[in-house]
Copies of this chain bind each other. A is one copy, B any other.
Amino acid sequence: MQIEKYKIAEHNDSLAPSLKRAYEFLAGEINDAESIIRKLTDFQVAIPSWALGTGGTRFGRFPGGGEPRNLEEKIEDIGLLHQLNQSSGAISLHIPWDIPSNPSHIKALAAQHGLRFDAMNSNTFQDQPGQALSYKFGSLQNVNKAIRQQAIDHNIEVIRHGIELGSESLTVWLSDGSCFPGQLNFRHAFQNTLEGLQEIYKHLPDNWKMFVEYKAAEPNFYSTTVGDWGQSLLYAQKLGPKAYTLVDLGHHLPNANIEQIVSLLLMEGKLGGFHFNDSKYGDDDLTVGCMKPYQLFLIFNELIEGMDARGMNHNTDLGWMIDASHNVKDPLEDLLQSVEAIMISYAQALLVDRNKLLAAQQENDVVTAQEVLQQAFRTDVRSLVAEARRRAGGAINPIALYRSEKVRDHLIKERGAKTMATGL
Contacts from A to B (Cβ < 8 Å): 21-22, 25, 28-29, 55-60, 62, 125-127, 134-137, 143, 175, 178-188, 190-191, 216-219, 221-223, 227-231, 233-234, 252-257, 259-260, 263-264, 266-268, 279-282, 284, 286-287, 289-295, 298, 301-302, 305-306, 309, 327-330, 333-334, 337, 344, 357-358, 360-364, 366-367, 369-374, 377-380, 382, 399, 424
Copies of the polypeptide in the assembly: 4
Cα A287 to Cα B370 in complex, Å, equals 10
Q: Which residue from B29, B60, B180, B298 sits with its C-beta under 8 Å from A366?
A: B180
Q: How far is the CB of A24 from chain B (nearest CB, A)?
A: 9
Q: Are A255 and B254 in contact (CB under 8 A)?
A: yes
Q: Which residue from B175, B216, B281 sits with its C-beta under 8 Å from A221?
A: B281
List 13 interface pairs A-B (beta carbons < 8 Å), by A numbering: A58-B219, A60-B127, A178-B366, A180-B366, A182-B357, A182-B369, A182-B372, A185-B361, A223-B257, A227-B260, A234-B264, A292-B295, A378-B380
Q: Are A337 and B370 in contact (CB under 8 A)?
A: yes
Q: Are B263 and A186 in contact (CB under 8 A)?
A: yes
Q: Are B360 and A182 in contact (CB under 8 A)?
A: yes
Cα A77 to Cα B183 in complex, Å, equals 26
- Interface hub of A56, A127, A230, A254 (most chain B Cβ within 10 A): A230
Known: A60-B219, A263-B187, A287-B370. A328 touches B179 (CB 8 A): yes
Q: Are A255 and B217 in contact (CB under 8 A)?
A: yes
Residues on B with C-beta less than 8 A from A127 are 60, 62
Residues on B with C-beta less than 8 A from A280 are 217, 221-222, 255, 257
Residues on B with C-beta less than 8 A from A382 are 378
Residues on B with C-beta less than 8 A from A292 are 292, 294-295
Q: How far is the CB of A360 from chain B (nearest CB, A)?
A: 7
10 nearest A-B residue pairs (beta carbon): A230-B230, A182-B369, A221-B284, A62-B136, A57-B219, A186-B263, A253-B253, A380-B380, A60-B126, A217-B281
Residues on B with C-beta less than 8 A from A227 are 257, 260
Q: Are B186 and A260 in contact (CB under 8 A)?
A: yes
Residues on B with C-beta less than 8 A from A221 are 279-281, 284, 286
Residues on B with C-beta less than 8 A from A281 are 216-218, 221, 255, 282
